[in-house]
Structure 1
């Protein structure tokens, strides 16, 4: 009976870990493995100095240099993407401000996770498929973000995990071995904690200054209100004093008028009496 033809998945499965190939390398006998898997196998054969293919057992001396098989790598990525796209998406459509799923075709769904190894963002369903496609491999996964490229070293294609205090920039671990060798470096997490602490201190200082300015403003408002009350009181006092002066002058004026009137009346009475008396003498 003829043997069944191997499936595409079998062709791109690593014979060592039995998972789909990750960073595939093809050795001299033609068999392909994950870079990490064949490296681990040959590390165990270093003492013998003879390196063999885990499948056909062909031996090599000296240890062959391993290079990525770009053609196989592209085919593996296509298979991964095809398997992910085959899953039925069940999630909400991405709206304004949301990160879109990079795998969804047509209607883009809201991404929930981003993979720093794949440099892709996934909706809930496609993230599950991503984990199924990469069983046993621990990828660096974060909450969905639309700035994946900003988290990857453009030179080494590795995740930024270290902060260089000398150059004030994020770098990957390989950068510490060349351009940033000998620089003052800390883990990105430690620097983030330090920056958050500094930011907290700055925020507290600004908050204290704001409270001091608010207190000064409150005292100034209180002083203005007190001045207004005093001004109103002085105005009332002046108004009352002015009224007293006016009334006093009016009383004096009325008294003078009354006095003049009385004098005038008395003079008229006296004059009339004298006239009558004078007339009586002439008679």
Structure 2
């Protein structure tokens, strides 16, 4: 086991941190790090116009461009290491356990032939690696400062399209990610910060937005509960009012049966209208709750993304949370009843009885005063009196029936 562990350690020490393969024609730069001759030459050729050359691992600057000399001793050690064949055996054994990339998977940039599924992406190397080829980033000190994120197909989005450098700065003036060279060009004098600082700021703002959204949801849910209680109370009160109105109207005379029916229908209509208004308001509140929850899910999903550039770019398109609409006044009294209506019905009954009594007495009196012939003889008077008495009995009977 120790021998095998030693082989793994040697393999990591002899890898080029640029191409991630065993060193070819190794050279050592002034800071002490070694690379393939072609890899470091190509890497520095990109910065040749700047006149400042950086070590890909420790980021130490050199100016002028250092002269490169072949590291003879390291080349001999690497050559002997290749002859052992242990590297190929280790690679073959590990590769057999890898998961081949499918159509929608991110492919490993190092695998030859059929590529394995990448599990991590490096923002410094701008490459994606499978479980096997990502190991040097975990085991070798050369990759200590490299930033690993979940495998992503959007690595090119982290490169400045103008200067071909890593986007490590955020311009608050133009609200976009830029590289260090952009600071001396079109973004000179702008309000800029490191991308990491802006990420932390955006994360705090995102957390505040989530908390605010959560509080708004709680507020709307409380209002929705109060509205449900009001509807239940109104339904219960309307049922009671209908029953009581039936009891009251059954005591009234048949001549006002139509009025009893009209009052009952009036209560039901008011109940229906009030519930309809409450349900419309409930639907509005539920839609706002759904929208707020949807926004919270988007915010939560965005807050957990590991692709910083995608995060910053997505934050720019974030819309302010929807403003809570003003709600009309809602009566949430749990004791809401139709008692005032019942009182009015009772008053109407008393008033109706008084009106009927007075009205029919007046009618009765008026009817008795309606005469066609005023007879002066006793016989005629007697007949008239008997006739009037019969008519009075009929009217009294009708009046008693109504009352």
Tell me the TM-score range normalised by the shorter chain.
0.5 to 0.7
Q: Is 1:20 paired with 2:36?
A: yes
Q: What residue is the counterpart of 2:229 in the other structure?
A: 222
The secondary structure found in structure 2 opposite 1:126 is: coil
Instruction: Check whether the contact 1:165–1:183 (CA below 8 A) recurs between aligned residues.
Output: yes
Instruction: Check whether the contact 1:175–1:181 (CA below 8 A) recurs between aligned residues.
Output: yes
Using the TM superposition, give the Cα deviation of residue 98 of structure 1 relative to its aligned residue in structure 2, in angstroms.
4.0
Pairing partner for 2:146 from 140, 147, 153: 140
Q: What residue is the counterpart of 1:192 in the other structure?
A: 199
After TM superposition, the score normalised by the length of structure 1 is 0.56
Using the TM superposition, give the Cα deviation of residue 92 of structure 1 relative to its aligned residue in structure 2, in angstroms.
2.4
Q: What residue is the counterpart of 2:158 in the other structure?
A: 151
Tell me how far apart the structure 2 counterparts of residues 116 and 14 of structure 1 sit (CA, whole Å).
Answer: 25
The secondary structure found in structure 1 opposite 2:121 is: strand
Q: 1:214 to 1:177 in 2, by over 3 A?
A: same
Q: What residue is the counterpart of 1:170 in the other structure?
A: 177
Which consecutive residues of structure 2, in runs of 5 or more, have no partner in the other structure?
1-21, 43-52, 71-86, 255-403
1:48-59 → structure 2 map (5 Å cutoff): none
Q: What residue is the counterpart of 1:103 in the other structure?
A: 110
After TM superposition, the score normalised by the length of structure 2 is 0.41
Pairing partner for 1:127 from 113, 134, 138: 134
Instruction: Check whether the contact 2:26–2:34 (CA below 8 A) recurs between aligned residues.
Output: yes
Tell me how far apart the structure 1 counterparts of residues 226 and 129 of structure 2 sit (CA, whole Å).
Answer: 56
Q: 1:210 to 1:192 in 2, by over 3 A?
A: same
Q: Is 1:235 paired with 2:248?
A: no
Q: Is 1:91 paired with 2:98?
A: yes
Which consecutive residues of structure 1, in runs of 5 or more, have no partner in the other structure?
1-8, 26-34, 57-82, 248-283
